[in-house]
Chains A and B, each alone.
Chain A
Amino acid sequence: MTVAILSTGLTPFGKRPERLEDLLAEAGRQAIESGPSSSSAPDALVVGSMSAGSLAGVESLAPRVADRLGLSRVPAWRAETASATGAGAFQLGAHLVASQAFERVLVVAGEKMTATSTVETTTVLSRSLSPQEVLHGATMPAMAALVSQLYLSRYGLPIEEVAEVTVRNRACSAHNPRAQLTSLVTKEEVNRSRMVASPLRLLHVSAISDGAGAVMLSRSHDPAEVTVRGLGQSTEVLEVVARPLEPVGFRATRRAARLAYDQAAIGRKEVQVAEVHDAFAPFQLIDLEDLGFCGPGEALRWTLEGRGDPNGVLPVNPSGGLLGRGHPVGVSGLAQIIEVHRQLLGEAGAMQAGRP
């Protein structure tokens, strides 16, 4: 059974006035209406959101979205895997199709993060950390700062140079009509921006954002369709400081990548474009190493050499990544898949990678 991506939908990211369920419906409607004329309505719905109850004051999200899309008769579920929620919802949808339980599944994911204050939003997100870390007042940026520091000190890398990740991703998001941040920034601006959690500064951190995305999945009937070759997912010990430090990185990413490569029966060298989780600028470097594109400690040099630029050997985050697009936590994983889908179709417009 081969699973195809029939169509996608993606709202602009940023501070949006709509309710979460309306953003989700907007993306879902785009995916339904932009599908092939032969396709009919989905026969199942998966809705992803990380913290809809706390951030948007809404629960029972799946039937609410189904209502707005006129899909109240189809089975509908909500998926949540923290800031991988969008990708988790996609994976569930793909398995629903691959299992032949359903012919066509609509996956919708989104987050509404700007209805609450920055302190409230930060506090809500920190609840996904381990209780031990929450007890000590940890936040996502704080734990990211500690991991980043361990990574940088392990390989003797200067934080000032990591600014280049933001500079390059923002150069890409300047071409992304759905991105929250479309202005260029300089290395100096990144390194002068205010400290959020030392050594991470504001411009090292992806923005709090609202947005939604959607993908229509179906059994593949046409060889020209973009199909899902491999999927991988893994969790990791919640207590961040307990995780092994050699190499510094995320074992969940390494395990998930291995699963996906194995299922697709390809190696990392066959990957032609990548969207990676740059929620914090140093995480893009760690991701590149965990995904096998660079050796341990090599990703910064690799990046500075332009190898991940849109015309480089492996374009990385040509959409601008989370640092440029914004990071509505529940949808970022799905937005990455949607951006890659457009790259594979050659429909990424000014963001199209691989052009001289």
Chain B
Amino acid sequence: MIVLGSCLKCDLRFVEAAAVCPECGGALTREERTGRGQVIAATEISVPPAPWTAPHRLVVVELEGGGRVLAVPSGPLPGPGEKGAVERGPQERLTWTAGAGAPTRGARASRCPRRNGAATVRCGDLGPTLGASFEGGPPPLLLRSGPRAS
């Protein structure tokens, strides 16, 4: 499962841990994705930073359900349009595998309160941990009923 931060005000979705939306300062919620998606850009780097070794590859994946992530492909450099799945590996790194069958059933749908009409999350509830580092670490989100933050 991939967890994205999602802004209730401007719709920005991102992976980086944040307490507020980096674009507009708005309140955040978390959205979950199966990890399935499609490569929209890929590159092979000849001089990667340590500790990576050449050739190092990176892909941008458009996730099913919305949102994009950067990931390291497990195999050869994929072409744009390749379908597969992103999985979280050691040190929270995301790995792309072509054709991988992340579960389509049983995956939780988006928990965005605005989109399912349940509740509103305020900036301070999320602390600094929303995003990639959220999974498996911090306690469940504290959702508060009330008007949508703006």
Q: Mark A289-325, 1 if CB is under 8 A from B, else 0.
A: 0000000000000000000000000000000000000
**Segment 242-276 of A: residues with Cβ below 8 Å from B:** 242
Q: Which of B36-44, B102-110, B137-145 contacts A (4 or more CB under 8 A)?
A: B36-44
Q: Is the CB of A136 within 8 A of B72?
A: yes
Cross-interface CB contact of A119 among B13, B49, B68, cutoff 8 Å:
B49
CB proximity of B2 to chain A, nearest CB, Å: 12
Q: In the complex, how many residues of chain B place their beta carbon closer than 8 angstroms to a beta carbon of chain A?
A: 35
Q: In the complex, how many residues of chain A place their beta carbon closer than 8 angstroms to a beta carbon of chain B?
A: 36
Q: Is the CB of B91 within 8 A of A237?
A: no
Q: Is the CB of A239 within 8 A of B50?
A: no
Q: Is the CB of B48 within 8 A of A137?
A: yes
Q: Is the CB of A242 within 8 A of B72?
A: no
Q: Is the CB of B16 within 8 A of A132?
A: yes
Instruction: Tell me whether A136 and B70 are in contact in the complex, defined as CB-CB below 8 angstroms, given that A118-B47, A197-B44, A197-B46 are known contacts.
Output: yes
Q: Is the CB of B15 within 8 A of A239?
A: yes
Q: Is the CB of B48 within 8 A of A242?
A: no
Which residues of B sit under 8 angstroms from A62, Cβ to Cβ? none
B98 contacts chain A at the CB level, 8 A cutoff:
no
CA of A161 to CA of B34, assembled, Å: 38
B119 contacts chain A at the CB level, 8 A cutoff:
no
Q: Is the CB of A195 within 8 A of B44?
A: yes
Q: Is the CB of A133 within 8 A of B70?
A: yes
CB proximity of B15 to chain A, nearest CB, Å: 5
Identify the closest chain A residue to B49 (Cβ): A123
Which residues of A sit under 8 angstroms from B60, Cβ to Cβ? 146, 150, 241
B1 contacts chain A at the CB level, 8 A cutoff:
no
**Segment 52-96 of B: residues with Cβ below 8 Å from A:** 52, 56, 58, 60, 68-72, 77, 80, 91-94
Which residues of B sit under 8 angstroms from A146, Cβ to Cβ? 41-43, 58, 60, 70
CB proximity of B113 to chain A, nearest CB, Å: 20
Which residues of B sit under 8 angstroms from A132, Cβ to Cβ? 15-16, 70, 131-132
CA of A239 to CA of B132, assembled, Å: 12
Identify the closest chain A residue to B61 (Cβ): A241
Identify the closest chain A residue to B67 (Cβ): A242
B101 contacts chain A at the CB level, 8 A cutoff:
no
**Segment 147-203 of A: residues with Cβ below 8 Å from B:** 147, 149-150, 153, 194-200
Identify the closest chain B residue to A119 (Cβ): B47
Identify the closest chain B residue to A251 (Cβ): B23
B14 contacts chain A at the CB level, 8 A cutoff:
yes
Which residues of B sit under 8 angstroms from A242, Cβ to Cβ? 12-16, 22, 68
B45 contacts chain A at the CB level, 8 A cutoff:
yes
CB proximity of B128 to chain A, nearest CB, Å: 12
Which residues of A sit under 8 angstroms from B68, Cβ to Cβ? 241-242
CA of A18 to CA of B84, assembled, Å: 51
Cross-interface CB contact of B58 among A138, A194, A196, cutoff 8 Å:
A138
A70 contacts chain B at the CB level, 8 A cutoff:
no
Q: Interface centre among A150, A196, A241, by most B CB within 10 Å?
A: A241
Q: Is the CB of A196 within 8 A of B16?
A: no
Which residues of B sit under 8 angstroms from A220, Cβ to Cβ? none
CA of A237 to CA of B58, assembled, Å: 20
A126 contacts chain B at the CB level, 8 A cutoff:
yes
Which residues of B sit under 8 angstroms from A196, Cβ to Cβ? 45-47
Q: Is the CB of A239 within 8 A of B46?
A: no
CA of A137 to CA of B47, assembled, Å: 10
Instruction: Tell me whether A145 and B43 are in contact in the complex, defined as CB-CB below 8 angstroms, given that A136-B93, A138-B58 are known contacts.
Output: yes
Which residues of B sit under 8 angstroms from A194, Cβ to Cβ? 46
CA of A120 to CA of B23, assembled, Å: 31
Q: Is the CB of B91 within 8 A of A135?
A: yes
11 contacts between A and B (CB under 8 A): A119-B47, A122-B49, A137-B56, A146-B58, A146-B60, A150-B40, A153-B41, A195-B46, A197-B43, A197-B46, A242-B16
Which 6 A-B residue pairs are closest in the complex by CB-CB distance? A242-B14, A137-B52, A123-B49, A145-B43, A149-B41, A146-B41
**Chain A positions near chain B (C-beta within 8 angstroms):** 118-119, 122-123, 126, 130-139, 141-142, 145-147, 149-150, 153, 194-200, 237-242
